[in-house]
Structure 1
Amino acid sequence: MPKIGIYARKSMNSEQSDSIENQVLLGEEYVNKYYQESDKQITYYIDEDKSGGDMYRPDWERLLNDMRNGFLDIIVCYKLDRVGRDVGDLALFYREIVKYNITVIPVRDNIEIKEDMTPTERGMMYINAVFSQMERENTIIRVTDNMIKLAEKGYWCGGRPPIGFKLKKIVSDNMRTHSILVENSETLPFFKRLVDDFLHGGMSLNGLETKYKHENFKTPLGAALSSSQIWIILTNPNYVAADGLTYDYFAAMGCKMAKPREAFDGKHGILAYGRGRGSGKGTHKRKRILNPPEKWIITVGHHSPIIDSRTFLAIQERFGNNTINKTRKHKIGILKGVLRCSCGRLMITKYKYDKQYEVEYRHYYCPVRVRLGTEYCNTRMVNLDDIDNEVINKFKEIALDCNMIDKYIPENNQPCGIRKRSSVEREIKSTEMKISNLTSALETSDGSGAAKYIISNIEKLDKQVIALKNELYNITVIEEKLKEKEVGKLDKYKKVCEIVEALETKDYDLINNLMKNAISECIWDGEKLIVKL
C-alpha cells in the first residue's frame, strides 16, 4: 500500500501563484493516474500564506515528521518551489530523501527526486532550485525597492498604523491609490496620556507598567501594557513633527534622510521605514527586532504631527538619562538565562547585601509576578543557591552513573505493541512458504474448480506479506531512532561531565554558557525543579 503525501503551499499576499485548491487537484490527478491501487493512502499537507523562504511551516514540519517516522513513501507537490526556494534548504531536504528512501514528485517540473538519481537528474534538480531562489530574491528586491520609494514619498507602506493614527486612502497624481496616516480621535488620548505620564509623572518604564496594571489601564485593543510596549510607542518617530531639530537628530544617528533639511517644514509628521524586522528563520512567533539606525529611512509623511520636536526629544533624553550600566558587580546564578518560571518567563537573579547584619541575599524571581501581580503568576522567589546546588547535585549523580541521565532526557513517545524483528521475519518467511506451497498446488490443479480458491488464498497471503514488510520497515525506523537516542545520550553525558569538571576551576561565564548548552528545559514551578537535557 503506497503511502502518499500531497503538499501545497501558497505565499503570503501573492495573487500570482497557483491556488491551494489547484495545487491539490493537480496532485490528486497525478496520484490517481500513476498509482491506481485501491488501497493507497493519501495524506494532505497544506501551508497557506507561508513564504517559500521559511522552512519552519506548520504542515511542512508535520510532513517531515511523518516522513521520518515511516508514514510516507511518496511526496507529490505542484512544483519544486512549493517545497522551498533556497538551494541550501533543498540540499538538506535531499539528504533526508536519501536517508529515508522517499520519492518526491514535483508534477510540473518533470523530474522525480529520489535516492538513485543520476548526476544529470540531480543537476537539473539544483538548477531548478537555483532559478527558484533567484526568482524569490528578485521578488524581494523589487518589493523592497517599491516599499522604499513609497516610504520616501511619505506614503504608509503597510501594517497596522501606530496607536493614535488610522489609515486613509488617497489617489496620487499618477492615479494610484496609496495609504497615509491621519489622526484617530478614539485612540489619540491613549498616546497623549503615555507622553504626559512619562514626562511629568517622574516614573520609570517599570513604574508606569505597575501603575497601569493597578489602574487597569490597557491598550485600545484591551491588552495589558508592558514596559517594552511603552518604550516602543514613545520612541516611534511617526508621531513627531518633521522640522530642523528632528532632521538633525536622526541625521546625527546615521539614518538615511530621504529628503533635504529644507523639506522638514514642521507642518507634517515624520515617516520612518526600516526600523524593525522579524527575528529570523525558525521562530514561529517572531519578535520585532530594532535595526541599527543606519538602516532607517527617515522622510516627511503626509500626516499632521501629534507632538512637537521638543517634546519628542525630551522623551528621548529621559530614556538616555535612565540608561544604566547593566554589567553586574556580583555575577550570580549559574542558571541565569536557563531557569524559567512555570508561567514561561525566564527568571531573573537578584542580589542584596544587608550591611547591618552582613548577610547576602541571592534569589531567582519571576518578573511577571513582580510587575503584574499574583493573578498573572503565583510563583514566589526562590533561594538562588538552593536551586543552583540542586542542579549541581543532579549533574554529579549523572557523572558518577551514566544511566542516571535517562531521568533527565525527554521521552520519545514510541508506538506501543511493537513486535520483535525476529518474530516478524519468521512470520514473513512462514507466509512466503505458504504462498510457495499454494503456487505449487495451483500448478497441479490442472484447471479444477479448486484453482480459484487457491488464487484467492495466495492474494490474501500476498497482502499479509506486504503488511508484514511494512511492519518490518517501521521496526527499522524505530531501531534507528533508538540508536540516535543512544548517541545523543552519550553526547549529553559528556556535556554534564564537562560542567562537573569545570565547577571548581572555571569562571562564572564559562560555567553559565556550559549550562545553556547542556540544558534544554529547566523550570521552577514553585515547589519542584524540572530539568531536561
Structure 2
Amino acid sequence: MTTAGVYVRISDDQAGDALGVKRQEQDCRKIAALRDWEVSSVYSDNDVSAYKRSVRRPAFERLLQDLEKGVISAVVVYDLDRFARQPRDLERAIDLFEGSHLRFATVQGDIDLSSPDGRTMARVMVAFANKSSDDTSRRTTRKHLELAQKGMPVGPRAYGWRAGKITIDPTEAAIIRDGARQLMAGMSLGAVTDQWNEKGYKSSLGNRWVRQTVRQMYLNPRLAGYRVYRGEMLRDEAGEPVMGMWEPILDNDTWTALVTRIAPPETRQGYRPGGRKYLLSGLVRCGNCGTSMRGLRKTDTTHSYFCPPDNQGGCGKSAIAGHRLDAMIETLILSHSGDEQTNVSSDYDPSELETINARIQELMGAFQEGSLSGSVVFPTVQSLEAEARSLRAQQAVAAVPG
C-alpha cells in the first residue's frame, strides 16, 4: 500500500483555532482513501505564509525530508497553492519527484510531477498563484501607505487611547505623562516599570510591563501625534512629519526631550521630528520623474537615495550613493563658508560651556522641586543642550593645530 503524507497550510489564522487546516485535512484524507493510500503523517503549517521568501515553513521542510528518505511515497494537498507559491519551493519538490515513482494528488485533481507535462502545468499554476500574491501585496502596501499619509491609525489599540484609537483614555494617558515626568527627573526605565507593575497597571494587551516595552512606547512618535509607517516616522514630500488624526498625549518638546534621554545614542537622530535622517532627505529629486527621493541605510556608514516605486508615487528608476552625494554638497557648502568657520572657532570661550551646563542643572533642579513646570523646563533644556553641543564642536575645532 502507498504511504502518503497530507500537507495542509493556511496563511492567516486570526482566530487561532486551526479550523482551516482541519477542513483541508478532512478533504485530503478522503482523496487518499479513494486512491487506497494510507495516511501516515499530517504536515501542518498553520498561520504560515508560502509567499513570503523570509518565512520558513517547518512542516513543509519535514515533508521534503521524509520524501527524500522514503518515509512517505505520496503527497496529498488541498490545492497546489497550499503546497507552493514560490517557484523555487516547487522546484525543490520537482527535484524529488522527477524520474521517481512518487505520487502527488490534490483535492482539485492529480498533478503528475514526474512527467514533463505535469511539471509544466504545475509551474504555470504556481507562477499565477505567485503573481496573485504579488498583486495583493502591492494593493495592500499601497492602501496602507495611503492610510498613513492621511494620518489614520491602524492596528490594535495603543496604550493611552480608547478603542477607537483617536480619543485619549484619561487614566492611561495620566500614567504615561506621570512616567514621562519621572523619567525626565532622573528615574530609570526599570524603576518606572517596577512601579507600574506594583500598582497593577497592565498593557493594552493585559500583560505585565517589561522595561523594553515601556521604552518602545515612549520612543513611539505616536505619543506626540506623529504617524509611523513601517517602523519609522512618516514624512511628506517636503520632509516634514505627517501628523496623525488622534489626540497626542505628550507635546512635541516633552516627547523630544524624553527621547533624547532614553533612546540608544545611535537611534536618537531618527526620532528628531524637526530634523532629517539624511542630509538631503526631502530635498534631492529624481532626475527622471521629479519625485522626492528617499534615504535608505546600506551599512552603518553608507546610505543611498532612491526614487520610490510607482505604487508609492515615484518611478523607481533612480538611485545614487547617498554618502558620496552628501560629501559633495558638504564640500561645496564649506568652500563658501570657510571664513565663517574660522571666525567661529577663534571666538570660542570655554566659560560659555560651563555657564550653560550650570543653567541646565539649575533648571532640572527647579523642575524636580516643582517650582517650574516641564513645559517650561524641557524646551529650554533642549535649546541649551543644542548650544552646548555647538560649543563642544567649536572646542574641538579650536584644539586642532593651525
Normalising by structure 1, we get a TM-score of 0.42
Superposed, which structure 2 residues align to 1:377-456 within 5 Å?
none
- 2:144 alignment partner in structure 1: 147
- 2:28 alignment partner in structure 1: 27
> What amino acid does structure 2 have at the position aligned with 1:9?
R
Question: Residue 110 of structure 1: CA displacement?
Answer: 4.4
Q: Please give the alpha-carbon distance, in whole angstroms, between the structure 1 residues aligned to 2:77 and 2:221.
A: 45
> What amino acid does structure 1 have at the position aligned with 2:50?
G
Question: The residue matched to 2:108 in structure 1 has which SS?
Answer: helix
Superposed, which structure 2 residues align to 1:96-175 within 5 Å?
96-97=96-97, 102-108=102-108, 110-114=110-114, 117-118=115-116, 120-158=117-155, 160-168=156-164
> What amino acid does structure 2 have at the position aligned with 1:237?
P
Q: Please give the alpha-carbon distance, in whole angstroms, between the structure 1 residues aligned to 2:13 and 2:246.
A: 26
Q: Where do 4+ consecutive residues of structure 1 move more than 6 Å?
A: 291-297
CA RMSD of aligned residues (A): 3.7
Question: The residue matched to 2:254 in structure 1 has which SS?
Answer: helix
Question: Residue 308 of structure 1: CA displacement?
Answer: 0.9
> What amino acid does structure 1 have at the position aligned with 2:47?
D
Number of residue pairs matched?
257
Q: Please give the alpha-carbon distance, in whole angstroms, between the structure 1 residues aligned to 2:104 and 2:22.
A: 20
Larger radius of gyration between Structure 1 and Structure 2: 1
Q: Please give the alpha-carbon distance, in whole angstroms, between the structure 1 residues aligned to 2:149 and 2:48.
A: 28
- 1:346 alignment partner in structure 2: none
Are 2:4 and 1:7 equivalent residues in the alignment? no
Are 2:79 and 1:79 equivalent residues in the alignment? yes
Superposed, which structure 2 residues align to 1:504-515 within 5 Å?
none
Superposed, which structure 2 residues align to 1:168-187 within 5 Å?
168=164, 180-187=165-172
Maintained 8 Å contact 1:164/1:185: yes
Are 2:294 and 1:310 equivalent residues in the alignment? no
Are 2:244 and 1:301 equivalent residues in the alignment? yes
Are 2:48 and 1:50 equivalent residues in the alignment? yes
> What amino acid does structure 1 have at the position aligned with 2:148?
A
Maintained 8 Å contact 2:10/2:49: yes
- 1:239 alignment partner in structure 2: 223
Q: Please give the alpha-carbon distance, in whole angstroms, between the structure 2 residues aligned to 1:324 and 1:43.
A: 50
Q: Please give the alpha-carbon distance, in whole angstroms, between the structure 2 residues aligned to 1:99 and 1:219.
A: 59
Normalising by structure 2, we get a TM-score of 0.54
Q: 1:93 to 1:315 in 2, by over 3 A?
A: farther
Q: Please give the alpha-carbon distance, in whole angstroms, between the structure 1 residues aligned to 2:213 and 2:139.
A: 32
Superposed, which structure 2 residues align to 1:194-209 within 5 Å?
194-200=179-185, 202-203=186-187, 207-209=188-190
Deviates more, 1:186-195 or 1:75-84: 186-195
Question: Residue 323 of structure 1: CA displacement?
Answer: 2.2
Maintained 8 Å contact 1:274/1:297: no
Question: Residue 53 of structure 1: CA displacement?
Answer: 2.1
Q: Please give the alpha-carbon distance, in whole angstroms, between the structure 1 residues aligned to 2:168 and 2:59.
A: 41
Maintained 8 Å contact 2:6/2:43: yes
Q: 1:314 to 1:100 in 2, by over 3 A?
A: farther
In structure 2, stretches of 5+ residues that fail to align are 268-402
Question: Residue 150 of structure 1: CA displacement?
Answer: 2.4
In structure 1, stretches of 5+ residues that fail to align are 169-179, 241-268, 277-290, 326-533
Post-superposition CA distance 1:440-464 (Å, at most 9, x none): xxxxxxxxxxxxxxxxxxxxxxxxx
Q: 1:13 to 1:143 in 2, by over 3 A?
A: farther
Question: Residue 87 of structure 1: CA displacement?
Answer: 1.1
Superposed, which structure 2 residues align to 1:219-368 within 5 Å?
219-220=202-203, 221-226=206-211, 228-240=212-224, 269-275=225-231, 299-319=242-262, 323=265
Q: Percent identity?
A: 21
> What amino acid does structure 2 have at the position aligned with 1:323?
P
Question: The residue matched to 2:44 in structure 1 has which SS?
Answer: strand
Are 2:186 and 1:188 equivalent residues in the alignment? no
Superposed, which structure 2 residues align to 1:469-480 within 5 Å?
none
Question: The residue matched to 2:75 in structure 1 has which SS?
Answer: strand
Question: The residue matched to 1:313 in structure 2 has which SS?
Answer: helix
Maintained 8 Å contact 1:80/1:109: no
Maintained 8 Å contact 1:106/1:112: no
Q: Please give the alpha-carbon distance, in whole angstroms, between the structure 1 residues aligned to 2:154 and 2:137.
A: 15
Question: Residue 70 of structure 1: CA displacement?
Answer: 3.2
Q: 1:48 to 1:309 in 2, by over 3 A?
A: same
